Structure 1
């Protein structure tokens, strides 16, 4: 086996135990790592292209594009590039002492498939920051790495707890990131590869309310926060969150808070 392909960072000594070590590998099918006794830390990988595998006692699992793999400490294993494939992936080793137990699976290996583009991009960017900070090691580098790993684990835990259609998840992301913009259901449908009628039906079936109702909820929740925590007047807040007509904004606000935006703002604690 080519030693340059070996996952050398995995074999660190006890004197650096608990540190976060991360990297980006792009490997042919000659690459593999075997640990019959497991390891003292956790391993998380995210596949960018190609295909890899994880062998643990009694099973073998495949990792493809968009898959997050989380290997429990102490689990005997072998992983590598699938035969005839390349495996382009980012990875990090970390100690369980750095993370809340609730974010770590009880199974020896968890493979979670991320299907929508926005979640994939978010996870990859978090990994990029982990890799950069772990290599650069400027002030607070370990804490920055931990925060980004925690973000990845939280996203996985969130998606594991309530798995929804990736297209609906993508629409929710689009609504939240372009909340103040004017949108058409036809445009959203085109972005996720559905007809407008199919998207509208699937969204309400999945979320329980329509796309318009969902957008209005997002806007009104944000408006309430702005009214409570800033000095912006109600008409400015309406525009901030995407309502071009103040009366429509006020009516929607009353539906959620049983009072006008101005009355809501007036009852909040005076700003200092």
Structure 2
């Protein structure tokens, strides 16, 4: 695909939404593509039958093409702290254009897929939000490149999920288990039990497939989730650490400061509300 002006993606909207009250939205027919990632909490959606709703949890990425109906509903759910309340945080992107049309026609893609809540995907959405608000020709150019990079990253994730077989498929099952249980304490033994392998074989296969140990991958992912939650500012720091899977606040403080060069409190002071 060339990058001529008529093949640019037209970004109609990019941002984030935090819901603490019940919410119900219905669009009879989408006039653009919608990309949405559930970052925290829970929601329900459909792009088919308006009453056939699917649950969205953290890490669920949806693609709704033009011409489809779209309904999003947010009701009280059991949250990570075991209380039942309304809470949902997501990033979204509305776009259209010749490039995205060509991209959509290249291959059959699932309407909903699991993606890692790490720096990559979230960074694209945050940068798109920032540049879309700036406006101007330069920002439009940046948004165009960012949206294309996001599309290609999604294709890489889909390709990896489809291409894993044999031992690599088992490694991917381990990765899914870790991401599904990331906010609760678990051991490497639990991962091994999930795939019915010995601990040593489990750790070897994971390192071979993803280039880092299970412990390091788990730590990096938990720290990325903690970073996002600190920026939202609605958690007490000790409870936040527990909600991200850290049983010991002193350990959380140590590893957070090592990765981000700021203590959790210093990070919140510097970056809270930076998305506004």
Instruction: Specify the TM-score bucket, using the shorter chain as the normaliser.
Output: 0.5 to 0.7
Pairing 1:27–2:19 present? yes
Kindly tell me: are residues 156 and 31 of structure 1, through their superposed partners in 2, closer, same or farther at Cα, counting changes over 3 Å? same
What residue ranges of structure 1 are gaps of 5+ in the alignment? Answer: 1-16, 170-188, 212-272
**Aligned mates of 2:76, 2:107 — CA distance in 1:** 29
Pairing 1:199–2:203 present? yes
1:60 corresponds to which residue? 53
CA-CA distance at 1:51 after TM superposition: 0.9
Kindly tell me: are residues 111 and 139 of structure 1, through their superposed partners in 2, closer, same or farther at Cα, counting changes over 3 Å? same
CA-CA distance at 1:98 after TM superposition: 3.8
CA-CA distance at 1:61 after TM superposition: 2.0
Tell me, yes or no, if the aligned pair for 1:41 and 1:72 is still in contact at 8 Å: yes
Query: Could you say what secondary structure the match of 1:134 adopts?
Result: helix
Tell me, yes or no, if the aligned pair for 2:30 and 2:67 is still in contact at 8 Å: yes
**Aligned mates of 1:63, 1:199 — CA distance in 2:** 30
TM-score (norm 1): 0.52
**RCO higher in 1 or 2 (8 Å CA, sep ≥ 6)?**
2
**Aligned mates of 1:199, 1:130 — CA distance in 2:** 36
Query: Could you say what secondary structure the match of 1:73 adopts?
Result: coil
1:162 corresponds to which residue? 160
Give the alignment's Cα RMSD to 1 decimal. Answer: 3.4
Aligned residues: 168
CA-CA distance at 1:89 after TM superposition: 0.4
**Residue deviations 1:163-192 (CA, integer Å, cap 9, x gap):** 1517669xxxxxxxxxxxxxxxxxxx97x9
TM-score (norm 2): 0.51
**Aligned mates of 2:110, 2:76 — CA distance in 1:** 21
**Pair member with larger Rg:** 1
